[in-house]
Amino acid sequence: MSDTSPTDPVAEAFEAQRDRLRAVAYRMLGSHADAEDVVQEAWLRLSRQDEATIHNLAGWLTTVVGRISLDVLRSRQAHPEASYDDRLLELVVTVDDGPAPEDDVALADSVGLALLVVLESLGPSERLAFVLHDLFAVPFDEIGQILGKSTDATKMLASRARRKVQATDRPTVVGREQREVVQAFLAAARRGDFEGLLRVLDPEVRLTVATPDGVVVTLGATAVASGAQLSAGAAARGRAVLVNGLPGIASWREDGAPLSVIAFTVVDGRIARIAAVIDPARLASMDLPAPG
């Protein structure tokens, strides 16, 4: 990764924009690692550009970051199994001390993650239009240039994305309701209650598991419920945790070695996403609490 030089005025101007660009890319991609790569690519493009041709550096950089992020999103659509790899590396696990949702930090984290989950459901063009306009106040005509669409068409994309976000992103489920849904799922898994599992799983639930051999994605309630029945007895010891502010469970073997970390995203009273890590190397790199 190339470093910018603090004595170079162009580099200084870029550094002044770096945090904002990273925020744009993260909201677009939901991965800190991918966002960092996009920002670095933007720097490389800037370093090859004749600065005399850039009249508005902030706007130019936002456009570049938007275009690179759009390419990444479109690539993910073609290879959806690859898009969750980095995010699974970024799980932050803390002890879940109780059912109250009043912890401001945890609430802010979980609402942010809920938004990222909703953004995943948007098409690349919708996501770009919504993120750039609604979250970062980029004018529609500039977004339209990135997308190759008219200003009116871009406004329609953002409006459609906004309706989806407003219809789906409900932070009020953070806390007791989320925990109750997760507990119902775990109880049904322990009992081998297939029908009980189906009742708490969204029909289009997505299970993403980081294994030693890579990321495995399972789609649909029937397939996820079948897998949950098979793995219900694997954990010797488990305790409730928060994973990036979302309810989850961490499990350990009898000898104290970590077995798994699982995070649940609940939307409208059903589990919409499950992210699990069972790769011993990744588990070893995570700062896990002590077994309960």
pLDDT at 10 over 50: yes
Do the beta carbons of residue 81 and residue 215 sit within 8 Å? Answer: yes
Quick one: three-class SS letters along the chain? Answer: CCCCCCCCHHHHHHHHHHHHHHHHHHHHHCCHHHHHHHHHHHHHHHHCCCHHHCCCHHHHHHHHHHHHHHHHHHHHHHCHHHCCHHHHHCCCEEECCCCCCCCHHHHHHHHHHHHHHHHHCCCHHHHHHHHHHHHCCCCHHHHHHHHCCCHHHHHHHHHHHHHHHHHHCCHHHCCHHHHHHHHHHHHHHHHCCHHHHHHHEEEEEEEEEEECCEEEEEECHHHHHHHHHHHCCCCCEEEEEEECCEEEEEEECCCCCEEEEEEEEEECCEEEEEEEECCHHHHHHCCCCCCC
pLDDT at 62: 93
pLDDT of residue 230: 55
Joined together, the tokens standing for residue 130 give: 């919504």
**Is residue 38 over pLDDT 90?**
yes
pLDDT at 239: 83
Per-residue HEC secondary structure of 111-123 comes to HHHHHHHHHHCCC
The residue written with tokens 């029909």 in the block is: 203
* Domain spans in the chain, listed from the N-terminal domain onward: 9-83+121-170, 175-285
Please give the share of the chain, as a percent, with pLDDT higher than 70: 77
Tens digit of each residue's pLDDT (9 = 90 or more) over 174-233: 467 788 898 899 888 888 889 999 999 999 898 888 888 888 888 899 999 988 765 655
Residue the block writes with tokens 């904002």: 20
Query: Measured between alpha carbons, how far is 224 from 206 in angstroms, rounded to an integer?
Result: 8
Strands 214-219 and 93-95: unpaired
Residue 53 pLDDT grade (very low, low, confident, very high; cuts 50, 70, 90):
confident
- Residue 13, both tokens: 């101007």
Task: For residue 173, give both structure tokens.
Answer: 């489920």
Question: Among candidates 135, 190, 126, which has minimal Cα distance to 158?
Answer: 126
What band does 157 get if pLDDT is binned at 50, 70 and 90?
very high
Q: Tell me what pLDDT residue 80 has.
A: 56
Q: How confident is the model at residue 70 (pLDDT cuts 50, 70, 90)?
A: very high
pLDDT class of 150 with cuts at 50, 70, 90: very high
CATH number of this structure's domain 9-83+121-170: 1.20.140.160
Instruction: Quote the tokens at residue 33.
Output: 């690692």
Q: Are 95 and 154 in contact (CB under 8 A)?
A: no
The candidate with the shortest Cα–Cα distance to 169, out of 20, 30, 272, is 272
Q: 175-285 — its CATH code?
A: 3.10.450.50
pLDDT at 125: 93
Question: How do residues 109-142 score in pLDDT, each as one tens digit?
Answer: 444 555 666 677 788 999 999 989 988 889 999 9
